[in-house]
């Protein structure tokens, strides 16, 4: 009887642990959870339908909220910039598809920051049952409500999560910073380098290794013009 009780207790613990892990935020370096949902542009299987592009998943607690509305308009304004970086975007909100369509129609009538009306070409995903929000760990304890569903997940062409950021409901997201993160990730991936604090595209980068030995420098003195160091731990590569 005691063995049966222990087995039941262990089974309950394992099931509880599995369910808890299922609702956790996917860690950097993990495979992005896949889901299929209805959107303002038809059915979408994310991230698979976006192929070898970089992907960004933006989440919102509700439609028509003022901060989120400003972010959607900013995304629409910057969409071509993201496209030029091989980035595709998707937005989820816990309202239903009908509400999403009304929100898009309303936003496309506005002139935000004097830029004129913006077309919203990226899909808004119906997450009215909050299944995606749970899958991506967006329901934060202790409230476990939709209030904190304000995440940004940057996913690489191999569908690996590369960056995660969450924002409070009172503070709008900095889309320029998100663009900078993508640029930094692409640069470090393509060139096998690091980016220092406050790095922007075109700035010098860091290298995670000693860039040359003394004998290499003797053979090629120009190497000294390509790299420089600050102390003996931070080596930089000049960007031409």
Question: Rounded CA gap, 194 and 205, in Å?
Answer: 6
Q: H helices within 125-174, ranges in order?
A: 131-135
Q: Give the chain's largest Cα–Cα span.
A: 79
Measure the CA dihedral 69/70/71/74, to 10°.
Answer: 130
Q: Which of 37, 68, 104, 152 is catalytic?
A: 68
* Residue 209, SS3 per DSSP: coil
* Chain mean position to CA 143: 23
Of residues 157, 160, 163, 165, the one with CA closest to residue 31: 160
* Residue 66, SS3 per DSSP: helix
Asked if 68 is an active-site residue, the reply is: yes
Catalytic (active-site) positions: 68
């Amino acid at each position: 009887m005691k063995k049966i009780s222990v087995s039941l207790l262990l089974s309950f613990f394992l099931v509880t642990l599995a369910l808890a892990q299922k609702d956790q935020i996917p860690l950097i370096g993990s495979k992005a959870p896949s889901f299929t949902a209805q959107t303002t542009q038809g059915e979408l299987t994310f991230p698979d339908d976006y192929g070898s592009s970089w992907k960004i998943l933006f989440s919102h607690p509700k439609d028509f909220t003022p901060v989120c509305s400003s972010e959607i308009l900013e995304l629409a304004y910057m969409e071509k910039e993201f496209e030029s970086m091989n980035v595709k975007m998707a937005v989820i909100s816990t309202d239903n598809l009908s509400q999403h369509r009304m929100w898009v129609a309303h936003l496309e009538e506005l002139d935000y920051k004097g830029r004129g009306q913006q077309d919203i070409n990226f899909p808004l995903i119906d997450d009215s049952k909050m299944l995606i929000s749970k899958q991506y760990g967006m329901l934060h304890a202790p409230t476990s409500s939709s209030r904190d569903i304000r995440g940004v997940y940057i996913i690489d062409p191999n569908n690996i999560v590369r960056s995660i950021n969450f924002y409070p409901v009172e503070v709008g997201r900095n889309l320029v910073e998100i663009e900078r993160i993508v640029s930094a990730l692409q640069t470090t991936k393509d060139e096998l380098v690091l980016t220092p604090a406050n790095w922007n595209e075109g700035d010098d980068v860091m290298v995670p290794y000693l860039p040359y030995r003394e004998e290499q420098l003797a053979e090629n003195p120009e190497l000294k013009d390509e790299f420089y160091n600050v102390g003996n731990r931070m080596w930089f590569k000049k960007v031409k």
